[in-house]
Amino acid sequence: MYGFEALTFNIHGGYLEAIVRGHRASLLTASDYNNLCQCETLDDIKMHLSATEYGPYLQNEPSPLHTTTIVEKCTLKLVDEYKSMLCQATEPLSTFLEYIRYGHMIDNVVLIVTGTLHERDVQELLEKCHPLGMFDSIATLAVAQNMRELYRLVLVDTPLAPYFSECISSEDLDDMNIEIMRNTLYKAYLEDFYRFCQKLGGATAEIMSDLLSFEADRRVVNITINSIGTELTRDDRRKLYSNFGLLYPYGHEELAICEDIDQVRAAMEKYPPYQSIFSKLSYGESQMLDKAFYEEEVKRLCLTFEQQFHYAVFFAYMRLREQEIRNLMWISECVGQNQKSRVHDSVVFIF
Amino acid sequence: MSGSVAGDQATWSHALVNISPYTFSAIGIAVAIGVSVLGAAWGIYITGSSLIGAAIKAPRITSKNLISVIFCEAVAIYGVIVAIILQTKLESVPKSQIYAPESLRAGYAIFASGIIVGFANLVCGLCVGIIGSSCALSDAQNSSLFVKILVIEIFGSALGLFGVIVGIIMSAQASWPSKAG
């Protein structure tokens, strides 16, 4: 019952919630980012990061650092924290934590299938996969020729199996179909996660439904904008939208028929939370839309920590860390390519 | 004389009045200590699990935040004290006086005292425990918050004290009849 979680949450979840709040305290602040943006070389970045919690992970790297190494080690830290929390979690928290990694699994599957299509080496692709989304038979994905084989050979044993019911077909895999497959899988995953959170009830259901609705709406907008001008029909586009969120169902109807960005903007401005996002962009500009969405997401994720005794803090922490790693990647790239003037284009401050 | 309160022999009021006052007293004493300890234990585990987890990243919070655990423990001690006081109030009465109104009154007074103390301490322990958990987590992030949240805890622990005061007043006037007649 909502409101009485405080009485029994700490039996199973109290320790891990305190741990995740401790981890949250070590997220980089605005002053850390300012220091990092002043760096001249990647070694300076490594030196600044060694004073933070990333220190033990970066200290053994040999001197000519690459951006990918920094990102890899930071991701490794996130994975270590996730695994230590997962192994101490009991039901239903352990299932909740598992749900967080399914999104990465979907990304990895699509990465390998696309890479195989473009004739890349499987080992090289495996190294680029996100560690949270690895599963045992992932290398076998390179063998599949169409979706039915993909499902039958590999995915039926993974947790992604139930999400495939809507996209099994015998069509060959090409770029368009792979993107459609990615979006269909992600749609099924979001709806499943949403249902699971609703079943948990209480504060978790309330807070997670807000976060997942925002995610669903963001994906709707991105799908719409990315499919303007492609051969994706309106009905196909409509089928890729998730069945929940603030925009469901009327916003979906309007967005399915949009043909350019200004129509998207007109449709979105009817919804107050998104109107504030779109008002930051001037007409005809869509590059800053990603950053505006990230900022809104970070704001909502930080708000989850205001309430105690629920699971959404775990989800929020993982997302905030991923945002931090994205920030570090952008800063490292700018510093590495000597384009420091563009550093603030894409860094989203968390605190 | 039994059955003199209600007329008919087969009503509920007749049944209730014929339960021995010793039964009521014993239940009162059991509830005083049992439910108080339930409240204290509940509060301690709520605080303790958050405190241990938060202390991993911020070890400095451990010694100060034991105060929350001590406040919860105090709740159990109130229960013990009141149970001991109540059991000293139990006296034997002659057999003819067991169902006298004075005896019933004493039995009910001890019962009520036990219920008051038990349930006041139950909710007090819960209250202090939940605040203590939030206190530990906030202190780990920002150490200036500790003293302010402690004030809230002090108000919370006053609830148990109210229960103890009223319980002791109730039991003070529980006097059993002294001789036959």
Most A CBs within 10 A among B42, B45, B46, B60, hence the mutation to make, goes to B46
Query: Rounded to 5 degrees, what are φ and ψ at B133?
Result: -65, -45
At position B9, the amino acid (one-letter code) is: Q
Name beta bridge partners: A172: A146
A3 in reach of chain B (CB within 8 A): no
Residue B2 has pLDDT above 70, yes or no: no
**CA pair distance A163, A186, nearest whole angstrom:** 8
Q: What is the pLDDT of residue A139?
A: 80
Distance between alpha carbon B73 and the CA centroid of its chain, in Å?
12
Token couple for A314:
């775990």
**CA pair distance B117, B123, nearest whole angstrom:** 10
> Nearest CA of chain B to the CA of A28: how many Å?
14
> Nearest CA of chain A to the CA of B60: how many Å?
13
Contact B140 A18 (CB under 8 A): yes
Say which of B45, B51, B54 has its CB closest to residue A21: B54
Average confidence (pLDDT) over A77-90: 95
Query: Which of these, B148, B124, B149, B117, lies nearest to B134 by C-alpha position?
Result: B149
CA-nearest residue to A25 within chain B is: B141
Phi-psi domain of B115 (left: phi exceeds 0; alpha: psi -120 through 50; beta: other): alpha
Residue A169 has pLDDT above 70, yes or no: no
For residue range A220-269, list pLDDT tens digits in order. 999 998 888 888 888 888 888 999 988 888 888 888 888 888 888 888 88
Is B2 within 8 Å of B101 (Cβ atoms)? no
Say which of B45, B57, B58 has its CB closest to residue A10: B45
Token couple for A110:
């699509």
Contact B58 A22 (CB under 8 A): yes
Say which of B49, B126, B140 has its CB closest to residue A7: B126
Token couple for A342:
């563009």
Most B CBs within 10 A among A8, A9, A10, hence the mutation to make, goes to A10
Quote the mean pLDDT of chain A. 88
Residue of higher predicted confidence among B121 and A147: B121
> Nearest CA of chain B to the CA of A97: how many Å?
18
> Nearest CA of chain B to the CA of A14: how many Å?
5
> Nearest CA of chain A to the CA of B113: how many Å?
26
For residue range A268-310, list pLDDT tens digits in order. 888 988 888 888 776 656 668 888 899 999 999 999 999 999 9
Contact A22 B46 (CB under 8 A): no
**CA pair distance A272, A284, nearest whole angstrom:** 20
Q: Which residues of chain A does B49 touch, with a Cβ-Cβ cutoff of 8 Å? A: 10-11, 14-15, 18
- Chain pair A-B, CB pairs under 8 angstroms: 61
Contact B52 A15 (CB under 8 A): yes
Residue B7 has pLDDT above 60, yes or no: no
Residue B24 has pLDDT above 60, yes or no: yes
Prediction pTM value? 0.92
Interface of B with A (CB under 8 A): 42, 45-46, 49-54, 56-58, 126, 130, 133-134, 136-137, 140-141
CA-nearest residue to A6 within chain B is: B130
A7 in reach of chain B (CB within 8 A): yes
Distance between alpha carbon B162 and the CA centroid of its chain, in Å?
10
Say which of B42, B133, B140 has its CB closest to residue A14: B133
Rounded alpha-carbon distances, angstroms, from residue B178 to A74, B91, B97, B107, B181: 81, 9, 9, 14, 9
Say which of B42, B49, B137 has its CB closest to residue A308: B137
Dihedral sign, Cα of residue A35, residue A36, residue A37, residue A42: positive
Contact B53 A16 (CB under 8 A): yes
Cis, peptide link before residue B21, omega less than 30° from 0: no
Residue B88 has pLDDT above 60, yes or no: yes
Q: Which residues of A211-232 are buried (b: 16+ CB within 10 A; e: fewer)?
A: bbbbbbbbbbbebbbebbeeeb
For residue range B99-108, list pLDDT tens digits in order. 999 999 999 9
How many CB atoms are closer than 10 A to CB B170? 21
**CA pair distance A192, A185, nearest whole angstrom:** 11
Average confidence (pLDDT) over B39-65: 95
Residue A175 has pLDDT above 80, yes or no: no
Most B CBs within 10 A among A15, A307, A309, A317, hence the mutation to make, goes to A15
Q: What is the pLDDT of residue A291?
A: 87
CA-nearest residue to A8 within chain B is: B46
Query: What are the start-end ranges of the H helices in chain A?
Result: 5-12, 14-24, 30-37, 42-50, 55-58, 67-88, 93-117, 122-128, 147-153, 175-200, 202-226, 234-239, 250-256, 261-268, 272-278, 287-304, 312-336
Residue A58 pLDDT class (50, 70, 90 cuts): confident
A302 in reach of chain B (CB within 8 A): no
Residue B8 has pLDDT above 70, yes or no: no
Query: Rounded to 5 degrees, what are φ and ψ at A146?
Result: -140, 180
Q: Which residues of chain B does A23 touch, with a Cβ-Cβ cutoff of 8 Å? A: 57
Q: How much is the CA Rg of chain B, to the nearest whole Å?
A: 21
Token couple for A225:
């904008």
Average confidence (pLDDT) over A54-78: 88
Is A160 within 8 Å of A109 (Cβ atoms)? yes
Say which of A10, A17, A25 has its CB closest to residue B141: A25
Contact B136 A18 (CB under 8 A): yes
Residue A166 has pLDDT above 80, yes or no: no
**Strand, helix or coil at A172?**
strand
The torsion angle over the Cα atoms of residues A262, A264, A265 and A267, rounded to 10 degrees, is 130
Q: What is the pLDDT of residue A284?
A: 54
Q: What is the pLDDT of residue A311?
A: 96
Quote the mean pLDDT of chain B. 92
Residue A170 has pLDDT above 80, yes or no: no
